[in-house]
Chains A and B, each alone.
Chain A
C-alpha cells in the first residue's frame, strides 16, 4: 500500500489519548514553541475508525445461503486494548493475521437468507482459564459467552457461540467494549453458519465479501486558535486508488475553503476557530482510502 504523509516534517502522534506534545524549536533561535493538537472526528454514518485508521464503513454481504464468514482483523471496526497494538502475525491464522487483546469488535452484516444462525469463533487461548466475552446482535440482550473453561491451549479451535435469528437485511453484530479477550486470547475468524450445519473445520468457510460505502464526509472537532500564531495540518493517508479531500472553516462550518497541503497558515483575529471537513471517496475497485494521525502543528504565541 502506498502511504503518504501530508506536510512532512511534522511528527507522528499515536493514539487517542496522547498528551499534547510541546517542542521547543531551537532552530528558530527564539523562544517560540510549537505544539501538536491531535484532531478527532465526529460520529459519522459511513465511516469508522478501525485499528487507528479512519476509513469508509464496510459490511459483510451474505452470498445466497452461505455462512457469513468474517475475518476478525477485517471487521467493520476493530479496537484493540491500546492504540499501539496491531493485528498479530500467525502463520496458522487465516490470512496470516489474527487479533489479540480485542477490546471491541463491530461487524455490520447484510443477510440474504433469513433464519437461525449459529455463531462460531476460531480462537486460540494462551493459557488455561475461564475465558469469556460479551456480544449482542442488533438491540438484543447482551450475552456473556463462555469461550473456554480450562480447555485446550495454544492451538486454533472452533468455539461455539449463541444462535441468532436473523431477518433478511441489515444487522449489527457487536462485541462491545471491553470484551474479555484482553488477556491475549487469539481471534482469527467468526462464522455465522445456518443452525444445524456441522462445526467448521480447519480455516472454515470462504471469507464473505466485504463492501465499503461509496464516500464519507467527516468533520473534526473545532479548535480554538487563541494561543496559536500559525498552523499547518499533518496526517497519514493511504489512498488505495480513492481520494481524500480536505477543507477547512473558520466560521463554524458555514463556509469551507480547500486546504493547500503543506501550507502554513497564519492566525488572525478573524480566524479564531478552526475545523476541518474530510471527504473520503472510494476507489473504482471498491477499496476505501484511509487516514490517521490527523493533527494541527502550531506555533504558539509567547506566553504573557
Chain B
C-alpha cells in the first residue's frame, strides 16, 4: 500500500504551493489553516517588467485590501523564488490597513545574475499566520542570451487588449514586427516618416512604432524586426532598378519573382499607398556585394529601431524558393541551379550576413524560419545556428493544424513533428542548444472559425490550447501562440519554470524507460519528454507527462476537458541514497482554478530498495515531475 501517499491526501502536504519558492511556502503552509478567516486580501502583485536583464533594479507594486470593518495590522513579507527550491527575502515591512482601505506597497530589489524564471510572492502575515498570499511571475536573462527566455502569446478574448499594457495577462515578452518594412530585404530602415509595408499592407508611422517599441521595453517586452530574402512593394522594385546586377532573372531576362507576377500599376505607387500584392523580387545572394548589403541593411535596421532581435523568414541563401519554372539566372545570364554548390554558397551567405550583424550588434537575437538542421541545405542551416542568442522557428499555423490533410493535423503527429524538430537540433553537430520556437497557431481568430455558440462552448478553445501547450512544454518549444486565453496557463508555467525547460544544462534522456516507468490507467505520453540536469552535488530528472487528448485530431471546437489522469504512478530507480530523493509534481493552473498560478507539490514516495514509487496528483493536461537525487557529484 502506498501508505505515505494516502496519509498525505487531504492533509496540508497536498495543498498546492502556488508557484513559489518551496522553502518559503513550506513555512507558509504551517500557517495556512488560518487562511480563510481574514478580511485582508492581496489584490495584485505587479512587477514592473515581464523580462529583466541581469542586475536590473526591479520594482513591484503590491496592493492589499482590507475588506473588513476593523483595522488590520500585520507584516508584508515579499520573497523572490527561482528554479525549484531557491528563494530570498525581498522585503518585510509592517502594514496597517484601515477598514475598507486599499494600499499599494512598493518592493524594490536588484534582479542579480541568475537566469530564467522567478516568482515574486507577497504574503500578509499576522502573528505567525499567513492570512493572504499572491504571486506573480517573470524571467531574468543574461543580455547575451535573453532569447532563451522569449515567448509570444497574443492572448484571447479576455486578454488580448489587456496584454498591451499588462504583459502578465499573457506572459508575452517579445513583439515581432512582421513585414514592417517598405521592402523586407532592401528597405529595413526607411527614411520615410510613414509608409505601407511592401509585403503585408500595414500602415506604419515611424514615430508611433518607435514609441511603441520604447513603451513595451519599459514593460520588459522586447521587440524584433523582420526580413526575408525577397524585396517588396515599390521600394523593393526601385531597389532592383538601382541594382539590376544584384537581382536574379528569369529566362526572358525579367526580374525573377518570388510570389507571382508584378503589377506595374502597383509598383508605380508611392510608398504610402496600399498595394494589391507582394511583389517579391529575388536578390542574387551568390553575389558577395549583395551579401554584404544584406548584412549592412539589417544593421541599419537595428540602429534605427533599436530592435532586440531580427527574424529571418527563411535563410538568406542561394536556394531558389518560389517560381523557378522560367529558370533562374544571374543578371549576366549564368544559370543558378538548385543543387550544385547551393548548400555551401548558402552557408557562406548565412555566415557572412551573421558576421556583419554580430560585429555591430553582439547581443541581439537572430532567429530563422525553418533552419532546423536537415537536408537539403544542411550546412547552411547548421551555420545559422552556430551562434549565441539564436533560434529556429518551426512554423505551423493554426489554420494548418485545423486542416485534415495537414501532416500535423493529428495530435500524435503534431507531437512527433515537435519531437523531430527537437531531435534534429540535438543530433546536429557544432551547435549548442539553440532556441526552438513554433507557431503561429490560431493565426485566424477562432471566433471567426466557428459559430458563436461553438466558440462559447469551447471556452475560447481552452482544451485545444492546453493540449498544444502540453506538447510545447514537453518539446522545450518557445511558443509563438495567438488568439486564445487557453494558452495562458502554459506561458505562465513556462515563465515561472523556464530554468527546468529551457536552460542549457537541461539534457534530453534517451531511452528513459531504463530507469523510469510511468504507469497510468489513462494513456499518457512521457517517454520522449524526460530530461536531466546535474550540478551542485545533485541530479534532477525532469519528466514531462502529457494527458492524451480524447480525440485523435486537432479540433478547436472541443468543449470539455479530457478526463484527468488519476492514480498515475512514477517508478524510479535511483543510484543515490533513496531516503534522500525528493520528488515534486508541478502543474499549470486549470480552467476554473481559483488561484490562477502554477502549483508545486512535494510528494512522498514508497520505497522498495533502490526503487521509488510515487503517485501523482491528478492532472488534466500536463504535469512536470522532478526527481532530485543527492549524488555527491557522481554521474549515473
Chain A residues within CB distance 8 Å of chain B: 15-20, 37-38, 40, 42-43, 81-83, 103-104, 134, 141-144, 176-180, 182-184, 221-224, 226, 269, 272-273, 275
B609, CB-defined interface residue at 8 Å: no
Question: A184 vs B527: C-alpha distance in the bound complex, in angstroms?
Answer: 30
Interface residues on B, range: 35 or more
Contact of A177 with B523 in the complex, beta carbons under 8 Å? no
Residue numbers in A under 8 Å from B406 (CB-CB):
182
Option from A15, A43, A176, A224 in Cβ contact (under 8 Å) with B420: A176
Contact of A182 with B407 in the complex, beta carbons under 8 Å? yes
B567, CB-defined interface residue at 8 Å: yes
Contact of B523 with A82 in the complex, beta carbons under 8 Å? no
Question: A201 vs B139: C-alpha distance in the bound complex, in angstroms?
Answer: 61
Per the 8 Å Cβ criterion, residues 527-575 of B in contact with A are 527, 548-553, 562-563, 567, 569
Residue numbers in B under 8 Å from A37 (CB-CB):
521
Contact of A182 with B409 in the complex, beta carbons under 8 Å? yes
Question: A177 vs B521: C-alpha distance in the bound complex, in angstroms?
Answer: 26
Residue numbers in B under 8 Å from A15 (CB-CB):
552
Contact of A16 with B552 in the complex, beta carbons under 8 Å? yes
Residue numbers in A under 8 Å from B521 (CB-CB):
20, 37, 221, 223-224
Question: A20 vs B548: C-alpha distance in the bound complex, in angstroms?
Answer: 11
Known contacts A141-B378, A183-B405; A221 and B411 CB within 8 A of each other: no
Known: A81-B409, A221-B520. 15 other contacts (CB 8 A): A16-B548, A16-B552, A20-B521, A42-B513, A103-B407, A134-B374, A141-B374, A141-B375, A144-B375, A182-B406, A182-B407, A222-B519, A222-B569, A224-B521, A275-B519
From B378, which residue of chain A is reached at the shortest CB distance? A141
Residue numbers in A under 8 Å from B413 (CB-CB):
81, 103, 177-178, 182
B376, CB-defined interface residue at 8 Å: yes
Residue numbers in A under 8 Å from B562 (CB-CB):
19
Residue numbers in B under 8 Å from A224 (CB-CB):
519, 521, 567, 569
Question: A144 vs B409: C-alpha distance in the bound complex, in angstroms?
Answer: 20
Question: A221 vs B412: C-alpha distance in the bound complex, in angstroms?
Answer: 19
Listed A/B pairs (18) with beta-carbon separation below 8 Å: A16-B548, A20-B522, A82-B553, A103-B407, A141-B375, A143-B374, A144-B374, A177-B412, A177-B413, A178-B413, A182-B405, A182-B407, A184-B405, A221-B519, A222-B569, A224-B521, A224-B569, A275-B519
Residue numbers in B under 8 Å from A184 (CB-CB):
405
From A150, which residue of chain B is reached at the shortest CB distance? B325
Contact of B416 with A82 in the complex, beta carbons under 8 Å? no
Query: Measured between C-beta atoms, what is the minimum distance from A147 to chain B in Å?
Result: 13
Contact of B410 with A81 in the complex, beta carbons under 8 Å? yes
Contact of B552 with A82 in the complex, beta carbons under 8 Å? yes
B424, CB-defined interface residue at 8 Å: yes
Residue numbers in B under 8 Å from A16 (CB-CB):
412, 523, 548, 552
From A177, which residue of chain B is reached at the shortest CB distance? B416
Question: A179 vs B416: C-alpha distance in the bound complex, in angstroms?
Answer: 10
B417, CB-defined interface residue at 8 Å: yes
Question: A176 vs B417: C-alpha distance in the bound complex, in angstroms?
Answer: 9
Question: A37 vs B416: C-alpha distance in the bound complex, in angstroms?
Answer: 24
Known contacts A37-B521, A182-B407, A184-B405; A226 and B567 CB within 8 A of each other: yes
Question: A17 vs B550: C-alpha distance in the bound complex, in angstroms?
Answer: 6
Residue numbers in A under 8 Å from B407 (CB-CB):
81, 103, 178-180, 182-183
B234, CB-defined interface residue at 8 Å: no
B19, CB-defined interface residue at 8 Å: no
B408, CB-defined interface residue at 8 Å: yes
Query: Measured between C-beta atoms, what is the minimum distance from A92 to chain B in Å?
Result: 23
Name the residue in B417, B521, B562 with the highest tally of chain A Cβ atoms < 10 Å from its Cβ.
B521
Question: A277 vs B562: C-alpha distance in the bound complex, in angstroms?
Answer: 29
From B428, which residue of chain A is reached at the shortest CB distance? A141
Contact of A17 with B417 in the complex, beta carbons under 8 Å? no
Question: A177 vs B416: C-alpha distance in the bound complex, in angstroms?
Answer: 6
Residue numbers in B under 8 Å from A176 (CB-CB):
416, 420
Option from A17, A20, A134 in Cβ contact (under 8 Å) with B551: A17
Name the residue in A103, A142, A176 with the highest tally of chain B Cβ atoms < 10 Å from its Cβ.
A142
Per the 8 Å Cβ criterion, residues 388-443 of B in contact with A are 405-413, 416-417, 420, 424
Residue numbers in A under 8 Å from B551 (CB-CB):
17, 19
Residue numbers in A under 8 Å from B563 (CB-CB):
19-20
Name the residue in A18, A81, A269 with the highest tally of chain B Cβ atoms < 10 Å from its Cβ.
A81
Contact of A178 with B416 in the complex, beta carbons under 8 Å? yes
Closest 6 CB pairs of A and B: A224-B567, A178-B413, A222-B519, A177-B416, A19-B550, A182-B407
Question: A180 vs B416: C-alpha distance in the bound complex, in angstroms?
Answer: 13
Question: A226 vs B523: C-alpha distance in the bound complex, in angstroms?
Answer: 17
Query: Measured between C-beta atoms, what is the minimum distance from A84 to chain B in Å?
Result: 8
Residue numbers in B under 8 Å from A141 (CB-CB):
374-375, 378
Question: A82 vs B410: C-alpha distance in the bound complex, in angstroms?
Answer: 7
From B2, which residue of chain A is reached at the shortest CB distance? A272
From B372, which residue of chain A is reached at the shortest CB distance? A142
Contact of A38 with B523 in the complex, beta carbons under 8 Å? yes
Option from A17, A179, A223 in Cβ contact (under 8 Å) with B548: A17
From A141, which residue of chain B is reached at the shortest CB distance? B375
Question: A143 vs B520: C-alpha distance in the bound complex, in angstroms?
Answer: 36
Query: Measured between C-beta atoms, what is the minimum distance from A303 to chain B in Å?
Result: 13
Residue numbers in B under 8 Å from A177 (CB-CB):
412-413, 416, 420
Query: Measured between C-beta atoms, what is the minimum distance from A297 to chain B in Å?
Result: 13
Question: A177 vs B411: C-alpha distance in the bound complex, in angstroms?
Answer: 12
Residue numbers in A under 8 Å from B411 (CB-CB):
17
Interface string of B226-266 (1 = CB under 8 A from A): 00000000000000000000000000000000000000000
Question: A19 vs B547: C-alpha distance in the bound complex, in angstroms?
Answer: 11
Residue numbers in A under 8 Å from B569 (CB-CB):
222, 224
Question: A201 vs B534: C-alpha distance in the bound complex, in angstroms?
Answer: 57
Question: A82 vs B424: C-alpha distance in the bound complex, in angstroms?
Answer: 25
Residue numbers in A under 8 Å from B378 (CB-CB):
141
Question: A180 vs B376: C-alpha distance in the bound complex, in angstroms?
Answer: 16
Name the residue in B376, B412, B520 with the highest tally of chain A Cβ atoms < 10 Å from its Cβ.
B412
Query: Measured between C-beta atoms, what is the minimum distance from B188 to chain A in Å?
Result: 30
Known contacts A19-B550, A224-B569; A178 and B374 CB within 8 A of each other: no
Question: A81 vs B411: C-alpha distance in the bound complex, in angstroms?
Answer: 10
From A35, which residue of chain B is reached at the shortest CB distance? B521
Query: Measured between C-beta atoms, what is the minimum distance from B420 to chain A in Å?
Result: 6
Question: A247 vs B552: C-alpha distance in the bound complex, in angstroms?
Answer: 30
From A102, which residue of chain B is reached at the shortest CB distance? B407
Question: A20 vs B553: C-alpha distance in the bound complex, in angstroms?
Answer: 17
From A82, which residue of chain B is reached at the shortest CB distance? B552
Question: A85 vs B288: C-alpha distance in the bound complex, in angstroms?
Answer: 52
Residue numbers in B under 8 Å from A273 (CB-CB):
519
Residue numbers in A under 8 Å from B527 (CB-CB):
43
Residue numbers in B under 8 Å from A144 (CB-CB):
374-376
Question: A18 vs B29: C-alpha distance in the bound complex, in angstroms?
Answer: 40
Question: A23 vs B521: C-alpha distance in the bound complex, in angstroms?
Answer: 17
Question: A104 vs B417: C-alpha distance in the bound complex, in angstroms?
Answer: 12
Residue numbers in B under 8 Å from A104 (CB-CB):
416
Query: Measured between C-beta atoms, what is the minimum distance from A165 to chain B in Å?
Result: 15
Question: A104 vs B563: C-alpha distance in the bound complex, in angstroms?
Answer: 28
Query: Measured between C-beta atoms, what is the minimum distance from A131 to chain B in Å?
Result: 11
Query: Measured between C-beta atoms, what is the minimum distance from B605 to chain A in Å?
Result: 14
Contact of B552 with A17 in the complex, beta carbons under 8 Å? yes
Question: A82 vs B378: C-alpha distance in the bound complex, in angstroms?
Answer: 31
Query: Measured between C-beta atoms, what is the minimum distance from B23 to chain A in Å?
Result: 32
Known contacts A15-B552, A19-B563, A20-B563; A142 and B374 CB within 8 A of each other: yes
Query: Measured between C-beta atoms, what is the minimum distance from A76 to chain B in Å?
Result: 18
Contact of A142 with B424 in the complex, beta carbons under 8 Å? yes
Name the residue in B409, B417, B562, B567 with the highest tally of chain A Cβ atoms < 10 Å from its Cβ.
B567
Known contacts A17-B551, A40-B523; A103 and B424 CB within 8 A of each other: no
Per the 8 Å Cβ criterion, residues 498-534 of B in contact with A are 513, 519-523, 527
Question: A142 vs B548: C-alpha distance in the bound complex, in angstroms?
Answer: 27
Question: A142 vs B549: C-alpha distance in the bound complex, in angstroms?
Answer: 29
From B413, which residue of chain A is reached at the shortest CB distance? A178
Question: A246 vs B408: C-alpha distance in the bound complex, in angstroms?
Answer: 36
Contact of B552 with A83 in the complex, beta carbons under 8 Å? yes
Residue numbers in A under 8 Å from B409 (CB-CB):
81, 182
